[in-house]
């Protein structure tokens, strides 16, 4: 088990070093940072000084190592656009994105799991067919369309829910939360639904497919032959055997959701990392872009590794396997 974990961590480290390398390349290829930071009045001597100060005269490998060392400590440099610490900028936006993603994930499980079980055990019933059909639409509708539709119906026509922003937030240390105020919670509703719709349908379809598969398995047949009640079989024996792929999908997709949040955040003017990234792109603010890339990748890799380890915890067969 320990060897298994160490292997997974080494793997994760390798992936992160590669990502850092790519981010670093962006720096190098995007042109001379000294030119970008300087104005017409900057003298050649000033430029040299800056170049020396930024370490741009060192060789490639030394620069990469320094970049990795700095990034590992959360030091991504200074924004070209407004001269603020990049990490600070991202930390400021991070809670908004994460709260949106967390709520969307919870929604996708809370709705997707029961619907998946229902459509599997009541296969052929009219409501199962409708849900199945609806899920095809859910998978294929682009999330900005969903967002705009939700805004049209619930904000513009009915005037029930806010169409943009986070509402009031409460500061808990460096974390700003919208969970503690009424306006904050209301503001979360439409964006999280819009962001989670695709996830809901994915989870539902996955659970349905897995349930149908597991329900055909011999141990379910044998559990029925032992006289175990149907609902216990569905929810204890069958569903538990479906959880592995669901855990995988959910955890991996938190990364995808963070990426997707970019669109949702734009539609709902949600002040998260996605919006920050979009702004960074418009201003060619390389340090912010590189930091976003590294941080989102880190979340991806972290979740993947956790999933692998969780696997071993959920499934006793994998525990001894290594």
- From the CB of 320, what's the least distance to another protein, in Å? 8
Among 283, 59, 111, 92, residue whose Cα is nearest residue 174: 92
Kindly provide the residue ranges of all beta strands, DSSP E only, lying in the chain, ordered along the sequence.
170-172, 175-177
- From the CB of 125, what's the least distance to another protein, in Å? 13
- From the CB of 178, what's the least distance to another protein, in Å? 38
Q: Report the distance separating Cα 305 and Cα 73, nearest Å.
A: 20
Residue 129 vs 315, nearer CB to another protein: 315
Q: Which long-range contacts (CB under 8 A, 24 or more apart) does 238-244 make?
A: 238/211, 238/214, 239/113, 239/117, 239/207, 239/211, 241/210, 241/214, 241/217, 242/116, 242/206, 242/207, 242/210, 242/211, 242/214, 243/314, 244/311, 244/314, 244/315
Residue 3 vs 225, nearer CB to another protein: 225
Residue 4 vs 302, nearer CB to another protein: 4
Q: Report the distance separating Cα 65 and Cα 26, nearest Å.
A: 15
- From the CB of 123, what's the least distance to another protein, in Å? 10
Q: Specify the DSSP element, H or E, that contains 3.
A: helix 2-29
With vertex at residue 28, the alpha carbon angle to CA 27 and CA 29, rounded to the nearest 5 degrees, is 95
257 contacts: CB under 8 Å, gap ≥ 6: 101, 104, 105, 195, 199
- From the CB of 309, what's the least distance to another protein, in Å? 17
Main-chain dihedrals φ then ψ at residue 62, nearest 5 degrees = -60, -40
Residue 105 vs 241, nearer CB to another protein: 241
- From the CB of 312, what's the least distance to another protein, in Å? 13
Binding site for another protein (CB under 8 A): 217-219, 221-230, 232, 237, 240-241, 314-317, 320
- From the CB of 264, what's the least distance to another protein, in Å? 36
Q: Report the distance separating Cα 196 and Cα 254, nearest Å.
A: 11
Q: Report the distance separating Cα 180 and Cα 171, nearest Å.
A: 10
- Contact of 181 with 167, CB cutoff 8 Å: yes
Residue 182 vs 317, nearer CB to another protein: 317
- From the CB of 316, what's the least distance to another protein, in Å? 4
Residue 182 vs 226, nearer CB to another protein: 226
What is the maximal distance between C-alpha atoms in the chain?
Answer: 86
By the 10 Å C-beta count (0-12 exposed, 13-18 middle, 19+ buried), 43 is classed as exposed
Residue 200 vs 215, nearer CB to another protein: 215
Residue 83 vs 227, nearer CB to another protein: 227
- From the CB of 105, what's the least distance to another protein, in Å? 24
Residue 45 vs 225, nearer CB to another protein: 225
């Amino acid at each position: 088990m320990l060897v298994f974990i160490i292997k997974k961590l080494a793997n994760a480290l390798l992936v992160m070093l590669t990502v850092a390398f790519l981010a670093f390349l962006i720096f190098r290829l995007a042109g001379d940072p000294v030119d970008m930071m300087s104005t017409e009045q900057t003298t050649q001597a000033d430029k040299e000084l800056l170049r020396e100060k930024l370490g741009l005269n060192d060789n490639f490998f030394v620069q990469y190592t320094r970049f990795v060392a700095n990034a590992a400590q959360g030091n991504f440099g200074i924004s070209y656009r407004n001269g603020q610490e990049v990490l600070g900028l991202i930390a400021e936006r991070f809670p908004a994105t994460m709260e949106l993603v967390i709520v969307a994930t919870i929604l996708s499980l809370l709705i997707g799991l029961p619907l998946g079980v229902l459509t599997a055990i009541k296969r052929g019933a009219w409501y199962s067919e409708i849900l199945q059909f609806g899920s095809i639409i859910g998978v294929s509708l682009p999330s900005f369309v969903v967002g705009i539709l939700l805004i049209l119906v619930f904000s513009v026509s009915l005037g029930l829910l806010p169409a943009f922003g986070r509402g009031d937030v409460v500061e808990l240390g460096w974390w700003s939360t919208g969970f503690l105020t009424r306006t904050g919670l209301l503001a979360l509703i439409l964006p999280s639904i819009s962001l989670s719709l695709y996830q809901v349908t994915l989870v539902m379809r996955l659970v349905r497919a897995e349930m149908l598969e597991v329900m055909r398995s011999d141990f379910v047949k044998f559990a029925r032959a032992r006289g175990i009640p149907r609902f216990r079989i569905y929810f204890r024996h069958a569903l538990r055997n479906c959880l592995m792929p669901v855990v995988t999908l959910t955890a991996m997709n938190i990364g995808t959701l963070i990426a997707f949040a970019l669109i949702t955040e734009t539609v709902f003017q949600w002040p998260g990392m996605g919006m920050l990234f979009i702004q960074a792109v418009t201003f060619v603010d390389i340090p912010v872009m590189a930091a976003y890339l590294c941080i989102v990748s880190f979340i991806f890799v972290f979740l993947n590794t956790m999933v692998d380890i969780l696997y071993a915890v959920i499934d006793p067969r994998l525990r001894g396997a290594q």
